[in-house]
């Protein structure tokens, strides 16, 4: 027992040590939460400022580039701009963040070898969850409509018609974001928070990823996607499946957009696209069901998340996360953006 000089009852040594350990863990967690929120804020501002600056430069030089006046190439500058902004705003900023915080890349970018069969199964399961997330997002927006609200959301109708534009569109919307955004949210954020429990890291990184999109159409969808790709990293101990799932999800949307737009442009009935979409979904669900059954039967760690072995409860960890200054600021900014994109249904 430790005697208290202020006249209070003696303190039990074991309780005192436990309290000190708990305090140290809380400080360590808060530090990582603050740095994670700071990374989100810096990426957000870098993305916005770069988009503004590069757009201005592009508009200035656009009229002096004869090749880009051709309808077959006119959309390429915007797509390349999106790729460049994503690479710098997310990719470069994240690398600098890791250097400044002295984060070991092996901690945030796991790359354990995976068999092709396991990789294929994980990607199919993750991609199927992403497809389900579309319906969850639709239900969320139906709920908004009950209150007379809808989201002002640009559905990215590209109008691309040439083969080159299609390729650049796929690269800029499918490949680049899949790499850069996973580096930030499943790598730098989830990877650094896994020390405090897989479940905690999975939930918080998915939440930040969802709200990052800044509107109530994409946010619930992205949150579920964040859970799916985060699980794939935890289960395989590799970030590669997350990038594949993210990329395939975006690619599927891009191809659907291209088909819809070009079918409508050429006066072809879009029923065929709808039918193909539903058929692909049905096949995916079937394969995902089989994959889940086989994984759960052979691997006990299939849906198991590593528990936190420290003194902080899950509630205390969440409380620390939501009371961290940079997390509060980032969530407030993005929630405000989500609210701004709402309008009353006329």
pLDDT along the chain (346 residues), means of 10: 51 76 94 96 92 76 51 68 89 93 89 93 95 82 72 60 79 92 96 95 97 89 95 96 95 85 70 83 93 91 88 95 97 93 74
Query: What pLDDT, in 10s, does the model give residues 261-275?
Result: 777 666 667 777 788
Tell me, what's the pLDDT at 46? 92
Tell me the C-alpha distance between 118 and 126, whole Å.
12
% pLDDT > 70, the chain: 86
Question: What pLDDT score does 38 carry?
Answer: 97
Q: What is the pTM of this model?
A: 0.88
pLDDT of residue 153: 65
Give the per-residue pLDDT at 67: 47
Q: What angle do CA 67, 70, 75 make, to 5 degrees?
A: 90
Res 195: pLDDT: 93
Would you state the pLDDT for residue 192?
Answer: 95
**DSSP-based three-state secondary structure for 171:** helix
C-alpha span between 127 and 280 (Å, rounded) = 11
Nearest residue to 103 (alpha-carbon basis) of 29, 31, 191? 191
Give CA–CA dist 176/342, Å, rounded: 29
CB 224 within 8 A of CB 132: yes
The token pair at 43 is: 């990426």
Measure the CA–CA gap between 246 and 281, rounded to whole angstroms. Answer: 16
Element spanning 184, H or E? none
């Amino acid at each position: 027992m430790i005697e208290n000089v202020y006249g209070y009852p003696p303190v039990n040594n074991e309780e005192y040590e436990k309290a000190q350990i708990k305090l140290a863990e809380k400080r360590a967690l808060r530090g990582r939460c603050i740095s994670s929120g700071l990374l989100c804020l810096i990426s957000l501002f870098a993305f916005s400022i770069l988009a503004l600056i590069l757009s201005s430069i592009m508009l200035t030089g656009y009229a002096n580039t004869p090749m880009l006046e051709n309808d077959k190439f006119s959309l390429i500058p915007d797509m390349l701009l999106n790729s460049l902004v994503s690479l710098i705003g997310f990719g470069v900023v994240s690398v600098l963040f890791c250097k400044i915080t002295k984060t070991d890349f092996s901690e945030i970018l796991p790359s354990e070898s995976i068999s092709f069969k396991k990789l294929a199964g994980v990607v199919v399961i993750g991609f199927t969850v992403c497809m389900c997330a579309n319906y969850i997002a639709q239900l969320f927006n139906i709920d908004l409509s009950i209150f007379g609200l809808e989201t002002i959301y640009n559905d990215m109708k590209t109008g691309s018609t040439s083969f080159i534009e299609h390729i650049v569109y796929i690269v800029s919307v499918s490949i680049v974001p899949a790499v850069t955004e996973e580096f930030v949210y499943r790598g730098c954020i989830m990877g650094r928070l896994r020390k405090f429990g897989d479940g905690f890291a999975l939930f918080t990184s998915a939440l930040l990823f969802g709200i990052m999109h800044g509107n109530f159409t994409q946010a619930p969808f992205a949150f579920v996607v964040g859970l799916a790709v985060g699980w794939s990293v935890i289960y395989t101990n590799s970030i590669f499946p997350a990038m594949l799932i993210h990329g395939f999800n975006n690619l599927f949307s891009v191809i659907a957009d291209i088909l819809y737009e070009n079918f409508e442009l050429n006066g072809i009935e879009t029923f065929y696209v709808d039918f193909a979409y539903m058929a692909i979904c049905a096949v995916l669900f079937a394969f995902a069901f089989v994959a889940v059954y086989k994984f759960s039967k052979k691997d006990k760690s299939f849906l198991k998340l590593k528990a936190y072995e420290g003194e902080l409860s899950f509630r205390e960890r969440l409380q620390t996360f939501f009371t961290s200054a940079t997390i509060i600021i980032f969530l407030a900014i993005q929630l405000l953006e989500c609210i701004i994109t709402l309008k009353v249904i006329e």
